[in-house]
Structure 1
C-alpha cells in the first residue's frame, strides 16, 4: 500500500513540476478552463432561474392536476335491435355536473401521500351587475382553508380582508376597476336561471393574470352551490403534487383509478413545456461545445508539453519509469487543469450571478444549486482527463533511446 502511495506521490510531484516549468502555458489553459466553467455554471443557473420563474408564474394561479366529471356522450337506445349505440358525429353540449360521490373521492385523495393539497370547488358562469354595468364572470365556490394550499390568496390580496362566507366575496382588481367598486360595495349576481344574489365585496385580489383578475369572483362553497343550483355538488377537485413534472403520469393514474376526467398543467400549458424543453436543449448544446473547446485547449497544451519534455521523459524511462507511470503523470496534469480551472470558474460564475441579482433588471432571481457546482467540477476534471489521454499515450509510447537523443 505504501509503495502505491509513494508511486502516486512521485507522479503527482512530476506532474506539478512540469506545470511549474511552463507557467505561462499552464496559466493560459487554467484561464481557458475557468472561463468555460464560468460560462457553463452561469448559463445553466440563468436558465434554471428563468424556468423556475416561468413555472412559478404559471402555476402560481392554478393547480397541478384537476379532476372533473367525465364528458357526456350521445347514446341512443334502439329497441328493435335491443342494443345501445354511441354516436360521435356531433359533440354533445356539456352541462354543469357534479362529480359523483365526490366526498368519497376527496377522502381517498386526502389519504394519498403524493398529494400536497386537495381542494374541491364548484365553478360556473354568472352575470354581475352594478348600476348599468353588466359583466360576465366565473363564480368560484371554495373551501378557503383548502384552497389556500392550492393558491395562497392571502399573498395576492390588495385591499380589504380575506373573507368569504354569508354574502362576502372576493373579486379581482380588473373587475373592480371595470365596475367601479371598492371594498364594501354591493354587487348583484345573476345565474341566468332567475336566481339572484346580492353580495358584499370583502376583498380585492390581483393574481397577475388579467383575464383571471377580470372574471374570477370567489364565494363560499355552500353559497356557490346554492347559487349555481348544484346543491351538495362540486364540479372540480384541484390537486397539487411534489414533483410537478410527474403531473401527466399522476393524472393518467388517477383517471384509471377514479374514472373521472383528469387534466394536468402540462396539458394546459403545452407551449410553456415546449419552451422549457427548447431552453434545456440549448443549454446542453452550449455545455457540450464549451466542453469540447476546453478539451482541445488542454490537449494542445499537453501535446506541446510532450514535445518540449521529450528528453526528460526519455531519461525517466531510462531510469526505470514505466509507461503506465508516464501515462499517469500527464493524466494528472489534465486533472489539475480541470480542477484549478473549475475552482476559478466557479468563483467567476458567483461574481456574475451576484452582479445579475444585484444590478440586473430584477426580472427574476438566479439561484446557484450546490449540485451544479459539484457537477461543474466533475465535468471539468473529466474533460481534463479525456483531453490528456492522447498526449499521455504519446508520451508513454516514446522510446527511451530516441527520446534522449532528441534535441
Structure 2
C-alpha cells in the first residue's frame, strides 16, 4: 500500500499539467457548491427571520365558538413543560378599536405581559423614542400611526371600542418594527389595560410562543395539542399559515440541490476522463511494474490514491475559493446602506460536507481508471510498447 501511494505521488508530480487541471476542476466545483449553498441558506434564513423571526411560531387560540381563554395560566404552564423546543411564551389580550384624531383609523389593541412579549416581538429593540408601558393605561404605538395621528411622547390617544366605550391611553414610547402593517395599526399596552378595555375580565385571547427549531413547529404544535388539558382551545403553527412561503423555500432548496448535483457529476466525469487517459499514457510503466511483481490490487490503488490526494487538495482550495467568492458577493451586492443584499450564512457542517463530497467524488471517479489498470496485461503492454 505504501508503494502504491509513493508511485501515485510520483505520477502526480510528473504530470503537473494534468494534476493542476484536475485540482482546478475540483476546486471550482467545490467553490460553486459552497457559494450557491451558502447563498441559498442565507436567503432562506433572511426570509424566515423577516417573516417569522419576531412573531409567534405556535399559538394557542380559543375554539368551539369561544372568544377567550379563561384557564390561560394553566395552559401556559403546560406549554412550558411540554417540550424543550418551546421558548418565549407570552399571553396576549387583543381586540380591534378605532383611534380618534382629526380623522379616525382602525387599530389593533394588543395587551401583553410586556417583558414576556418583548422576547418575541423585540419591542425594546424597535423602540426609538420613549419607554415601554409598565403601568395601567400606558401604551406604545408604531411610527406610522404616530405620524398619521400626529402623536408624540406623553400625548394621550383616544380609542373607541366596538362596544362604544371610550378609553384614553398615555403614549410612553414609539416603535419601528420594520413592518408597515404593524407600525400603523398596533397599539401595545399592558395586559391588565387590554383586559379592562375589552371587557375580558381575567381572560386572554391567545397564547403565543416561539420554538428553537422553527421548521419543527408543526410537530411541536401537534404534541402540545395532545398534551394540553385545557378545554376549548386549539393550537396553530406558522407552517400551516405560511404555505406559500414554505413552497418558495422548498423550491429554492430543490434548485440548489439540483445545481450542486450537476456540478458534482461534471467534476466526477472530468476526473474519471483525465485519470483514464493517464492509465493509457502510463500503461507502459504500469506494465513494467506488473512484470516486476506488483499485484493488480496495488496497481489499482495507485489511481485510487491519486483520486484521494486530488480530492483533498481540490477540496481545500475549493473551500478557500468559495469563501473568496462569498466575500466578493458581500462587497458588490449591497443595499444602499452598505449591508449585503443577502446575508451570507456560514454553516460549518455544510462546508465540511461539501469538502467530503469532493473527496468521495474524486475517489469514486478514480475507480474506473483503477479497474482499467488492474486489467492491463504486462506482456501485451510491453510488447506493443
TM over 0.5: yes
Of 150, 155, 177, which residue of structure 2 is paired with 1:180? 150
Count of matched residue positions in the alignment of Structure 1 and Structure 2: 376
User: Contact 2:39/2:342 (CA < 8 Å) preserved in 1?
Assistant: no
Query: What is the 5 A alignment of 1:230-249?
Result: 230-249=200-219
User: Contact 1:69/1:100 (CA < 8 Å) preserved in 2?
Assistant: no
Residue 291 of structure 2 corresponds to 318
User: Contact 2:79/2:224 (CA < 8 Å) preserved in 1?
Assistant: no
Unpaired segments of 5 or more residues in structure 1? 1-7, 73-94
User: Contact 1:225/1:234 (CA < 8 Å) preserved in 2?
Assistant: yes
Q: 2:179 matched to 1:209?
A: yes
Give the distance between the partners of 2:133 and 2:51, measured in 1 at CA.
Answer: 25
Q: 2:252 matched to 1:279?
A: yes
Residue 94 of structure 2 corresponds to 123
Q: Secondary structure at the match of 2:99?
A: strand
Q: 2:45 matched to 1:40?
A: no
Q: Secondary structure at the match of 1:111?
A: helix
The farther-off stretch of 341-350 and 353-362 is: 353-362
Q: Secondary structure at the match of 1:162?
A: coil
User: Contact 1:298/1:337 (CA < 8 Å) preserved in 2?
Assistant: no
Residue 385 of structure 1 corresponds to 363
Q: How far did 1:203 drift?
A: 0.8
Give the distance between the partners of 1:369 and 1:264, measured in 2 at CA.
Answer: 26
User: Contact 1:311/1:405 (CA < 8 Å) preserved in 2?
Assistant: no
Of 263, 271, 274, which residue of structure 1 is paired with 2:236? 263
The farther-off stretch of 151-160 and 254-263 is: 254-263
Residue 17 of structure 1 corresponds to 10
Q: What's the CA shift string for 1:368-405, capped at 9, x where partnerless?
A: 22222211111001100111111110111111111212
Q: How far did 1:334 drift?
A: 1.1
Give the distance between the partners of 1:137 and 1:265, measured in 2 at CA.
Answer: 23
Residue 152 of structure 1 corresponds to 122
Q: How far did 1:168 drift?
A: 1.4
Residue 278 of structure 2 corresponds to 305
User: Contact 1:171/1:216 (CA < 8 Å) preserved in 2?
Assistant: yes
Give the distance between the partners of 2:138 and 2:383, measured in 1 at CA.
Answer: 96
Q: How far did 1:267 drift?
A: 1.4
User: Contact 1:183/1:202 (CA < 8 Å) preserved in 2?
Assistant: yes
Unpaired segments of 5 or more residues in structure 2? 335-339
Q: 2:312 matched to 1:345?
A: no
Q: 2:190 matched to 1:220?
A: yes
User: Contact 1:302/1:391 (CA < 8 Å) preserved in 2?
Assistant: yes
The farther-off stretch of 178-187 and 239-248 is: 178-187
Give the distance between the partners of 1:18 and 1:48, measured in 2 at CA.
Answer: 40
Residue 337 of structure 2 corresponds to none
User: Contact 2:140/2:172 (CA < 8 Å) preserved in 1?
Assistant: yes
User: Contact 2:136/2:192 (CA < 8 Å) preserved in 1?
Assistant: no
Residue 352 of structure 2 corresponds to 374
Q: How far did 1:60 drift?
A: 2.8
Query: What is the 5 A alignment of 1:47-126?
Result: 47-72=40-65, 97-112=67-82, 113-126=84-97
Give the distance between the partners of 1:336 and 1:188, measured in 2 at CA.
Answer: 74
The farther-off stretch of 359-368 and 116-125 is: 359-368
Residue 290 of structure 1 corresponds to 263
Give the distance between the partners of 2:27 and 2:33, measured in 1 at CA.
Answer: 10
Q: 2:372 matched to 1:394?
A: yes
User: Contact 1:66/1:264 (CA < 8 Å) preserved in 2?
Assistant: yes
The farther-off stretch of 113-122 and 229-238 is: 113-122
Q: How far did 1:162 drift?
A: 2.1
User: Contact 1:67/1:262 (CA < 8 Å) preserved in 2?
Assistant: yes
User: Contact 2:96/2:106 (CA < 8 Å) preserved in 1?
Assistant: yes
Q: What's the CA shift string for 1:4-28, capped at 9, x where partnerless?
A: xxxx221111111111111111111
Q: How far did 1:285 drift?
A: 0.3
